[in-house]
Amino acid sequence: MVDAARRAGTAQRRSVFEVFARHLPSGRRYGVVAGTGRLIEELTDFRFGDAELSWLSDNDVVDADTLDWLAGYRFQGDIWGYQEGELYFPGSPILVVEGTFAESVVLETLALSTLNYDSAVASAAARMVSAAGGRPLAEMGSRRATERGAVAAARAAYIAGFDATSNLEAGRTWGIPTMGTAAHSFTLLHDSEEDAFRAQVAALGPGTTLLVDTYDVAAAVDLAVRVAGTSLGAVRIDSGDLPGQASAVRRQLDGLGATATKITVTSDLDEYAIAALRAAPVDSYGVGTSVVTGSGSPTAGMVYKLVAREDSHGEWVSVAKKSTAKLSVGGRKSPLRALDGGVASAEVLHVEQDPDAPTASARSGRPLLVPLVTAGVPDPQYLGVAGTALAREHRAAAVAELPTDAFRLARGEPVIPTVYE
């Protein structure tokens, strides 16, 4: 596309692309924007190096002029977007990229890869957080995500309200609190469960979490308190009927005097299993597969669409695909979260012809676009450890505006309508 547009003289036309989801994943009430901080950080390193250029040349993918252009590629346009951690609804323009057609169109895959995955994880994680009703959640799903995707998943879950991750690289890169756990292999490595528990307590102190379901849970709980004492930090249960197990283990721990020892449960938890454990004496949850795979919706399904561009006279023109099923609304949008007594009531998208015109909605509410990248330079407040913490705070504030129906786990419509004005 870049090659052909360059030859046709259209590659330099100023263009506006929007990222949005046509609908929320089936039955969800709201979505959580994540990946924005990663995207604008990766944008600054988004280059075509010698190895890539040689391959493009050897395989005649683009012509020599376009190769030169790619060699010098630096995005120099502007990007606005929903602040990371913001909520989104069908049509919400969570990212708005303005630049030349050529410099903007090559960002499509980078933008969608980061935003689609991270938002899918964050949107699922947010449901688990509300289902947990204030009990802490740890993300433990690295094994069910790709090597680098696992780090992104830990970050997205944290933004959505998880408290910690077992992914140490996510701790190092994004400042997310980390935690660990012993696997069954650690118990099985030793000649007895007692040897394993003693080894773990010797290394990590009695405040550690002992895994009690390798052989017999009741025997292991007895042993755990015998080895670590009543100051044992926690026990972990990873199989079986979790509500029943948790109640039995709580009674047993209390009977042994370990009244402060906590119970953490893992084992294929998702938002429904977490909700089902609300009445059980569980202190914290470890969630793996379901959070890193978006709990049934592994991508947010966002698209990157041209909505406006210059014509041959330099005038802005709104554009949109016209055929059949996949209708889009052309023109740049100015989005607003309409609020009624502090409670979100609509996602209002004011459609403008002119990208320089001010927001013109008659409704009161919270404008949703913030400048993320100006003339190619990211706003540093959204980057790194500080940006991740800021996104988590922003998510908490945005969730607090939702009507209570947003937290129903049952399938339903988006909790507020999207209105085009």
Binding to a copy of itself, residues 288-347 (CB under 8 A): 289, 293-294, 298-299, 301, 303-306, 309, 311-312, 319-326
Residues within window 253-292 making contact with a copy of itself, judged by CB under 8 A: 267, 289
State in angstroms the smallest separation of the CB of 382 from a copy of itself: 18
264, 240 contact by CB (below 8 A): no
Alpha helices (H) in 44-190, listed in sequence order: 50-58, 64-71, 101-105, 108-132, 149-159, 168-174, 184-189
Chain CA centroid to CA 301, Å: 13
- Subset of residues 103 to 162 that bind a copy of itself, contact rule: CB under 8 A: 105, 108-110, 112-114, 116-117, 142-150, 152
We find the least distance from the C-beta atom of residue 359 to a copy of itself, in angstroms, to be 24
Q: Residue 239: is it exposed, middle or buried by C-beta count within 10 angstroms (0-12/13-18/19+)?
A: middle
Answer yes or no: are the C-beta atoms of 53 and 67 closer than 8 Å. Answer: yes
Question: How far, in Å, CA of 183 to CA of 179, rounded?
Answer: 13
Instruction: Kindly give, in sequence order, each residue whose CB lies less than 8 Å from that of residue 45, ignoring residues fewer than 6 positions away.
Output: none
For a copy of itself, the closer CB: 83 or 173: 173
In the bound state with a copy of itself, the residue whose beta carbon lies nearer, of 190 and 363, is 190
Stretch that binds a copy of itself, among 84-92, 177-185, 375-383, 402-410 (CB under 8 A): 177-185
Least distance (Å) between residue 294 CB and a copy of itself: 8
Count of positions on this chain that bind a copy of itself (CB under 8 A): 90
Query: Which DSSP letter does residue 144 get?
Result: G
CB 291 within 8 A of CB 154: no
Segment interacting with a copy of itself, rule: CB under 8 A, options 73-81, 182-190, 269-277, 397-405: 182-190
301 or 403, CB closer to a copy of itself?
301
Scan residues 347-406 and list those touching a copy of itself (CB under 8 A). Answer: none
- CB of 10 or CB of 418, closer to a copy of itself: 10
Q: Supply the minimum distance, in Å, between the C-beta of residue 374 and a copy of itself.
A: 23
- Whole-number Å distance between alpha carbons of 278 and 274: 7
- Which of 26, 45, 50, 51 binds a copy of itself (CB under 8 A)? It is 51
Nearer to a copy of itself, 281 or 298 (CB): 298
3-state secondary structure of 220: helix
Q: Which residues contact 232 (CB under 8 A, 6 or more apart)?
A: 206, 207, 208, 210, 224, 225, 258, 261
Quote the crossing angle between the two packed helices 217-228 and 193-204, to the nearest 10°: 40
User: CB under 8 A: which stretch of 50-58, 67-75, 343-351, 393-401 binds a copy of itself?
Assistant: 50-58
Residue type, 241: D
Binding mask 29-48 for a copy of itself (x = CB under 8 A): -------------x------
Cβ nearer to a copy of itself, comparing 15 with 83: 15
* Least distance from a copy of itself to the Cβ atom of residue 178, Å: 7
Tell which positions 196-255 bind a copy of itself, by CB under 8 A: 198-200, 202-204, 213-217, 238-240
H helices of 31-72, in order, are 36-43, 50-58, 64-71
Please give the Cα distance from 392 to 388 (Å, whole number).
6
Residue 408 as a binder of a copy of itself (CB under 8 A): the answer is no
**Distance from C-alpha of 82 to C-alpha of 372, rounded to nearest angstrom:** 9
Contacts of 361 (CB under 8 A, 6+ apart): 334, 336, 348, 350, 421
Task: In angstroms, give the least distance from the CB of 57 to a copy of itself.
Answer: 11
Residue closer to a copy of itself by CB (options 59, 364) is 59
Q: Which stretch binds a copy of itself (CB under 8 A): 70-78, 174-182, 253-261, 340-348?
A: 174-182
We find the least distance from the C-beta atom of residue 147 to a copy of itself, in angstroms, to be 5
CB 176 within 8 A of CB 170: yes
Q: Which of residues 86-105 bind a copy of itself (CB under 8 A)?
A: 101, 105
CB of 187 to a copy of itself, least distance (A): 8
Beta carbon nearer to a copy of itself, 44 or 113: 113
Torsion of Cα atoms, 104 then 110 then 113 then 119, to 10°: -70
Please identify, using beta-carbon distances, which residue of 202 and 343 lies nearer to a copy of itself.
Answer: 202
Three-state DSSP class for residue 307 = strand
Q: Minimum CB separation from a copy of itself for residue 198, in Å?
A: 8
